[in-house]
Amino acid sequence: MIYRLTAHGRTLSLAEPRVMGILNVTPDSFSDGGTHCTLDSAVIHASKMVNDGADIIDVGGESTRPGAAEVSVQEELDRVVPVVEKIAKELDTFISVDTSKPEVMREAFNAGAHMINDIRALNVEGALETCVELNVPVCLMHMMGEPKNMQEDIHYRDLLGDISEFLFKKLHQCLNAGMSKQNIVIDPGIGFGKTMDQNYELLGRLDTFGSFGYPILVGLSRKSLIGKLTGAPVDARLPGSLALAMYSVNKGAKIIRVHDVAETVQALTCWNHAKMFERKGPKLRELLKITKLIKNRKKTNE
Ligand code: 7PM
């Protein structure tokens, strides 16, 4: 099955796994004073990620950190919309917006966003209807509880079963409301109300979610499942992030959400090249020819 996402006349093929670069636009991420500076430095960072090979830029104005203060609609609009607008104008990339608020979804879409990444899976009143109306691709993520309390009381009857049931119900709800199947991406929500071993179990059995017939997005970059297992502090989790990213794509993930774009793109490029040799015969020769053509085209573009 080849998946593709389309919005604003732009199509992103998920025939090969894609890299989504994280762009936080919370005040603590670009703490260099005035709004103008913040906007510029955010777009510079986005531009670097695009040059490093990111296929999607995920703009987020709400901190999902446990215990983080809630952000008002106006505040989130002020953070996100100008950044989306400038990226849409200046960069050649697919733009995703990390939000749960229908108002932000709409304004960000109108400013040029191609996709909504909602950690609350369209749970906020009006969010589902807004996404259906906008006909925009959406990522539905599983979370137990809310960011502020999600790591406090973790209990599942059956981890895989409960998360599958949640996603099935969501899918049903979305399709019933008129969302088109091609607009849906699913995500098991690594780190959102799960213990370390539960996170690893989700990765180990990620192919279960692949059988739903929707592309899978995974976010695990620098997350605590790496720190807890290895003792590495957050700024030294790149090796673990890369290993788990490659493990995930091997298990069928189509979008990997990361901080370290260049490193992940290098890992993926090598993974993809080895993967291609799983095929044999004329199909492989054909693929190699196409890969060479693409490489040459990229070189002449530079
Ligand atoms: C605190 C807790 C800070 C969690 C940051 C985070 C995902 C996401 C995030 C994910 C999708 C982080 C997370 N994680 N969206 N947004 N999937 N779809 O570590 O796993 O980046 S925020």
Q: Which two tokens stand for residue 91?
A: 């960069």
Mean pLDDT, rounded, for 4-22: 97
Q: CA torsion sign, 210 to 12 to 255 to 27? A: negative
Query: Can you tell me the distance from the alpha carbon of 287 to that of 279, in angstroms, rounded to the nearest whole number?
Result: 9
Q: Is 65 in the pocket of ligand 1 (CB under 6 A)?
A: yes
**Residue nearest atom 19 in ligand 1 by C-alpha distance:** 223
Q: Is 64 in the pocket of ligand 1 (CB under 6 A)?
A: yes
Summarize the chain as % helix, strand, coil (round to 5).
50, 15, 35
**223-269 tens-digit pLDDT:** 999 999 999 999 999 999 999 999 999 999 999 999 999 999 999 99
Higher-confidence residue of 274 and 150: namely 274
Mean pLDDT, rounded, for 102-128: 97
Q: CA torsion sign, 151 to 234 to 256 to 179? A: positive
Q: What is the pLDDT of residue 163?
A: 97
**Which range is least confidently modeled, 39-43, 51-55, 109-113, 180-184?**
39-43
Q: What is the pLDDT of residue 158?
A: 94
Q: What is the pLDDT of residue 288?
A: 83
Higher-confidence residue of 29 and 119: namely 119
Q: Is 186 in the pocket of ligand 1 (CB under 6 A)?
A: no
pLDDT above 70 covers what percent of the chain? 95
Q: Model's pTM, two decimal places?
A: 0.93
- Residue 302 pLDDT > 70, yes or no? no
292 C-alpha to center of ligand 1: Å?
35
The domain locations on the chain are 4-301
Q: Which atom, in ligand 1's list, is nearest to the CA of 220? A: 20
Per the CB < 8 A criterion, the answer to whether 12 and 114 are in contact is yes
Which uninterrupted H or E stretch holds 69? none
Higher-confidence residue of 300 and 52: namely 52
Which residue type occupies 122?
Answer: L
Ramachandran area for residue 215 (φ above 0: left; ψ -120 to 50: alpha; else beta): beta
Query: Can you tell me the distance from the alpha carbon of 216 to that of 249, in angstroms, rounded to the nearest whole number?
Result: 9
Sort strands 4-7 and 10-13 into parallel, antiparallel or unpaired: antiparallel
Q: What is the pLDDT of residue 37?
A: 61
The residues, any chain, with a CB within 8 Å of residue 137's CB and separated by 6 or more, are: 5, 6, 7, 114, 115, 116, 182, 183, 184, 185
| Distance, first Cα to last Cα, the chain | 32
Query: Can you tell me the distance from the alpha carbon of 218 to that of 182, in angstroms, rounded to the nearest whole number?
Result: 18
Active-site residue numbers?
223, 257
Q: Is 187 in the pocket of ligand 1 (CB under 6 A)?
A: yes
**Which range is least confidently modeled, 13-17, 23-27, 254-258?**
23-27
- Residue 301 pLDDT > 80, yes or no? no
**172-213 tens-digit pLDDT:** 999 999 999 999 999 999 999 999 999 999 999 999 999 999
Query: Can you tell me the distance from the alpha carbon of 268 to that of 272, in angstroms, rounded to the nearest whole number?
Result: 6
- Residue 119 pLDDT > 80, yes or no? yes
| DSSP code of residue 168 | H
Q: Does domain 4-301 have CATH number 1.25.40.10?
A: no
Tell me the residue length of the chain: 302
Q: How far is CA 142 from CA 6, 109, 168, in A?
A: 23, 23, 11
Query: Can you tell me the distance from the alpha carbon of 27 to that of 61, in angstroms, rounded to the nearest whole number?
Result: 8
- Residue 31 pLDDT > 60, yes or no? no
- Residue 52 pLDDT > 80, yes or no? yes
Give the 3-state secondary structure of residue 245.
helix
